[in-house]
Chains A and B, each alone.
Chain A
Amino acid sequence: MSVTPENLGDLSRRTLLQRAAAAGLLAVPAMGVLSACAGSEPEKSDTGGGAKSKDNPFGVKDGSAVKVVVFNGGLGDQWAKEDKVIFSAKHPNVTVNMSSTQKIKTEEQPKMATQPSDLVMNSGADMMDRSTLINEGAIEPLDDLLTAPAWDSEGTVADSLLPGTVTDGTQNGKFYVVNVAYTVWGNWYNAALFKKEGWQAPTTWEEFFALAPKIKNKGMAPYVHDAVHGYYPRWALMASIWKTAGKQVVVDIDNLKENAWKADGVVKALEPWEKLVKDKLLLPGKLDHTQSQQAFLDGKAAFIQVGTWLKNEMAATIPPGFELTLSDYWHNADDKTPKDVFASSGEGFVVPSKAPNKEAAKEFLRAMLSKAGSAKFAELTKSLASTKGSGDNVQDTALASANALMKNGGSELISVKFQDFYADLDKESQNLSEELMAGRLTAQQFVDKMQAAADKVAKDSSIKKQTRTA
């Protein structure tokens, strides 16, 4: 799974400690279990063989049972229960045994080699490592799901998915992970406040810098960010680089191409951020993610940049009358791709290779990705589903604004890969992003240091190199 918003949002120090400990404890036994799994041939399923039709493309057998395990995290599990209703309407004679848990790896990994569940939502802090699952042959490729007809709309399942979803779930040329949630990043503001003050939400940096003094006059800071976890500001910085310098520059950066960071437009993209810090438009203090989000909700700052999980994460403390609204990252007037939106899919489902009823598992996924199912998902979680149009009928400012952003976006989605490719570059970019936002680095110094870090990784023979094509 490329991005799991709930994990990032919930990344408290306690869960980090637990995760580090769990990683240490599980690394060794996990190898044994998974290698045992890869060694033997999967048993032949005895539940398939039902008649295949347009309505039943995988041939689910009447009277069979399917076991679905849902991660009960930031999104809850009510939306999955709604999918069960949708599934049962078409297949009344197939029993769905649904359970939800937060301990996916603890509960599912030991069963992978013998009698796994049919459909597992591999998500949360305790998720199974995706590359390991694929390399050990423990999960099933789901390419036939993509070519199957969509549940309740024209075309195939693949046609109904938002851009990026198929790529995010693909590894080694095969589609393994079905991400059901969709995250959009940008600048959040309170539309009710802006209406009351007569402020216009800026779309460009010029408009923002013109508005900032007015915000300051109201005793508010124009902007707040997470100053503890470096990947928060990095989203914004990388989005700016993409918008200003264009996609190819970010692809070159990900591929460690020589002097990729020195390309035209990179420094220019970061200069507004340098100015934002220098002009003291940030809320004072080095707040972490929940502290900064709360400061934003308390009206101490006008803008904050995070993803669409904000509404769910802070649901308990959003003040009444607060119209949480997402706008795109600001761009410069002469940017190359100003309208491209930063978005990606997350919360992945996998079908274990040894699952006894793979047909029903795939059919359940088809139901989950239906128009009806994804609309329920958006309604219940206030997040977009990875199916097109999931947010169309939901009356919620946060979701509606994210939906609108996706619809008006450019031709490409902003995606950055180097942090998943190289741990060194990940850490260095987090550190330097915070340094830039703390005013201890200029845009030019940031770029020079990132180039040096990238060169170091490129030269290090102990690090396995990876490339992206698109």
Chain B
Amino acid sequence: MRHGVARFVTGFLALPVALYLFYVVWPFVQAAGYSLTDWGGYSNSQRFVGLDNYVRLLSDELIRKAFWHNVFFLVTVPLFTIALALFLAFLLNVGGREDRAGIRGVFGSALYKVIFFFPQVLSLVVIAVMWQQIYRTDSQGLINGLLIKIGLVDADNPIAFTADPEPFLGIPAVLWWLLLIAVWSGAGFYMVLFSAAMQSIPKDIYEAAILDGAGRFDTFFRVTLPLLRDTISVAWVYLGFIALDMYALVFVMTPSQGGPNHASEIFASVIQFNAFQKGQFGYACAIAVALAIFTILLAAVQLRITRRERIEF
């Protein structure tokens, strides 16, 4: 009988597994294979060059630059997105009416939830095009226009946003402006995720805390945050992946796709340039493989650091 089950299951799974191997795993293997060649991308011929591409990668200035920009996003995107999402979720679920009985969100929280979640239903390209108008660099832009009208910005020297490579806190300004969009568009989703997690925390824990005289601050840091650890750790890993990508925003928003003058270069933009503009697919594959290894390592490390004993409730 057990034998029959195994055959039944195998029969069912064979096709999906085959499709998965062919369309998902095989391209990865192929990319790894191409990374050892000097394939140009538009012909059938390629030469095996061993690890040359990887050696070259280590001394590539552009990749070093891209690496640090990716690290910047890797730190800031999860940090700011999770902080903002947690803050919003707390306000919407347990932040209201500190002085009265019952645990609820601030007034109108149902409406806020919809508003905050809204960016999530837009595609990233729509978001980017919309922010292009907001970030327009003359008085017709939403932000510049407003600030010029109230006299905070000089009309002869408007904010250049994504065309500005000047450093702010040591990081090119363009990266901060891109970060703002990434956080804006991501916070809504994680707010909903954290809301769901918060709602599954039993109300009596909060009630007990309030009876003991805990304010909003204490309830958040002593009750909510520890009980959300698992959810936050998942969000952290997931946002890490998003931060390593950032491709669409850089591609659509910045001059010369990674500019001005390489100030917003990231892994993905370097891969795109090497593969499609330079016609060095082999090298681009090597960068992609390096990125994949980096991503997997990162996820492993993050999950290990955040692993703790579960609290059952």
User: Which residues on A are within 8 Å of B, measured CB to CB?
Assistant: 13-14, 16-17, 20, 23-24, 27, 31, 35, 129, 132, 227-230, 280, 283-287, 291, 295, 423-424, 426-427, 430-432, 434-435, 438, 440, 462-463
Contact = CB atoms under 8 A, between A and B. Distances in A.
Given A35-B44, A285-B144, A286-B255, 11 more contacts: A20-B251, A20-B276, A27-B42, A31-B43, A230-B256, A284-B158, A285-B138, A286-B163, A427-B256, A430-B259, A462-B283
22 contacts: A13-B251, A23-B276, A24-B275, A230-B255, A284-B138, A284-B155, A284-B157, A285-B137, A285-B139, A286-B160, A286-B255, A295-B138, A423-B273, A423-B279, A427-B256, A434-B255, A434-B256, A434-B259, A462-B38, A462-B280, A462-B283, A463-B278
B125 A438 contact: no
Interface string B17-43: 000000000000000000000100111
A17 B125 contact: yes
A35 B42 CA distance: 11
A92 B13 CA distance: 65
A435 B262 CA distance: 11
Nearest to B53: A462
Contacts of A20: 251, 272, 276
A311 B89 CA distance: 53
B261 A431 contact: yes
Given A20-B272, A423-B277, A424-B278, A287 B256 contact: no
A283 B198 CA distance: 52
The 5 A-B pairs of least Cβ separation, nearest first, read: A285-B138, A286-B163, A423-B278, A286-B137, A285-B137
A149 B43 CA distance: 39
B57 interface: no
A431 B138 contact: no
B260 interface: yes
Interface string B53-70: 000100000000000000
B252 interface: yes
Interface residues of B, number: 42
B252 A17 contact: yes
B272 A431 contact: no
Given A13-B251, A227-B163, A291-B136, A431 B157 contact: no
The secondary-structure label for the interface of chain A is: helix
A14 B136 contact: no
Interface in B265-290: 272-273, 275-280, 283
Interface in B140-171: 144, 155-158, 160-161, 163, 165
Interface of B: 38, 41-44, 56, 125, 128-129, 132, 136-139, 144, 155-158, 160-161, 163, 165, 248, 251-252, 255-257, 259-262, 272-273, 275-280, 283
Contacts of A228: 163, 255
Given A13-B129, A286-B163, A462-B38, A430 B256 contact: yes
A230 B262 CA distance: 12
Interface centre among A20, A24, A284, A424 (most CB of B within 10 A): A284
Contact of B256 (A27, A286, A431, A440): A431
B261 A435 contact: yes
B60 to A, nearest CB: 11
Contacts of A229: 255-256
B261 A432 contact: yes
A95 B20 CA distance: 51
Contacts of B137: 227, 285-287
Contact of A284 (B156, B161, B251, B272): B156
Contacts of B56: 462
Contact of A431 (B42, B262, B276): B262
Contacts of A430: 256, 259
Contacts of A14: 125, 129
A440 B164 CA distance: 11
B273 A427 contact: yes
B260 A435 contact: yes
Nearest to A132: B42
Interface centre among A35, A129, A283, A462 (most CB of B within 10 A): A462
A138 to B, nearest CB: 13
A431 B156 contact: no
A238 to B, nearest CB: 17
B277 A129 contact: no
Interface centre among B128, B138, B273, B283 (most CB of A within 10 A): B138
Nearest to B132: A13
A229 B254 CA distance: 10
A434 B156 contact: no
Contacts of A16: 251, 257
Given A17-B125, A423-B279, A431-B261, A31 B255 contact: no
Contact of A31 (B42, B125, B248): B42
B158 A285 contact: yes
Given A24-B276, A423-B277, A462-B283, A129 B255 contact: no
Interface centre among B42, B158, B161, B283 (most CB of A within 10 A): B42
B157 A438 contact: no
A227 B254 CA distance: 11
Nearest to A438: B260
Given A284-B155, A284-B156, A286-B137, A230 B259 contact: yes
Interface centre among A16, A229, A432, A434 (most CB of B within 10 A): A434
Contacts of B260: 431, 434-435, 438
Contacts of A27: 41-42
Contacts of B125: 14, 17
A297 to B, nearest CB: 14
A427 B42 contact: no
Nearest to B161: A286
A286 B144 CA distance: 12
B277 A427 contact: yes
A14 B56 CA distance: 33
Contacts of A424: 278
B103 to A, nearest CB: 46
A54 B256 CA distance: 51
